[in-house]
Amino acid sequence: MKLFNFLFLSLVMSCCMGLQAQQRDWPGLNRYAHDNQTVARQSEQARRVVFMGNSITDNWARFHPEFFTDNGYVGRGISGQTSYQFLLRFREDVILLHPKLVVINAGTNDIAENIGPYNEDYTFGNIVSMVELAQANHIKVILTSVLPAASFGWNPAIKDAAFKIAKLNARIALYAGQHGIPYVDYYGKLVFGDDKALNPAYTKDGVHPTPAGYEVMEALIKEAIARELE
């Protein structure tokens, strides 16, 4: 019995320590720390484009890894993250890899209020800051739209997701146009219905694309990257 109690207590303490470590690494710097060292040693062709994002980017690299490896793309998505966290890890996960170009997809989890109330000015400011950091380090930028979503299953209290997404996308597109930055409109190809949802042909949960959805996105982003780099 004493041995069982000791083992149980050890397990609880281990879980608590793991949770505390995750909380201490709020930006997610540890997620790609080891892989970044490996990528940084690869040829420029193998790391010419970094995709910065949340679970949509994270899942993309897992569902279709060949799209990344075959084209010299590097996925740096972390599930659940907001633009605030992207900005904090931008140096480690983008700048220090010395890519030629970064693709930024931000806003979904900000609007879903994953870390607190949504403030469009702050989210937009985070995106602009990432653009400026990239340009200061001679890295080209492609900005992309937030994907459509009528609601968020993990936060049903958000009732105006579609409106906020459309409004933020319009602001990002305007900024991109004013500053000569390519803007890729995933939204226009994926939106469906009067409620401006993610087309059910391309999703199972209303937020994340299926492989069929990623195929649509891949055609759009690959063409935009080619125009910038080739």
Residue 14: pLDDT over 60: no
Residue 125 confidence (pLDDT) = 98
Indicate the pTM of the whole model: 0.90
The 3-state DSSP class for residue 65 equals helix
Residue 139: pLDDT over 60: yes
Q: Give pLDDT tens digits for 165-224.
A: 999 999 999 999 999 999 999 999 999 999 999 999 999 999 999 999 999 999 999 999
Q: How confident is the model at residue 8 (pLDDT cuts 50, 70, 90)?
A: very low
Q: What does the pLDDT average to over 97-109?
A: 98
Residue 6 confidence (pLDDT) = 39
The 3-state DSSP class for residue 164 equals helix
Residue 23 confidence (pLDDT) = 67
Residue 19 confidence (pLDDT) = 40
Q: Which residues contact 191 (CB under 8 A, 6 or more apart)?
A: 148, 197, 198, 199
Residue 18 confidence (pLDDT) = 40
Residue 230 confidence (pLDDT) = 79
- What percent of the chain clears pLDDT 90, i.e. is strictly above it? 89
Encode 163-172: b = buried (16+ Cβ within 10 Å), e = exposed.
ebbbebbebb
Per the prediction, the chain carries an average pLDDT of 92
CA-CA distance, 61 to 77, in Å (whole number)? Answer: 8
Q: Give pLDDT tens digits for 24-37.
A: 999 999 999 999 99
Q: Give pLDDT tens digits for 35-84.
A: 999 999 999 999 999 999 999 999 999 999 999 999 999 999 999 999 99
DSSP-assigned letter for residue 190: H
* Strand 191-192 versus strand 197-198 pairing type: antiparallel
CA-CA distance, 104 to 130, in Å (whole number)? Answer: 8
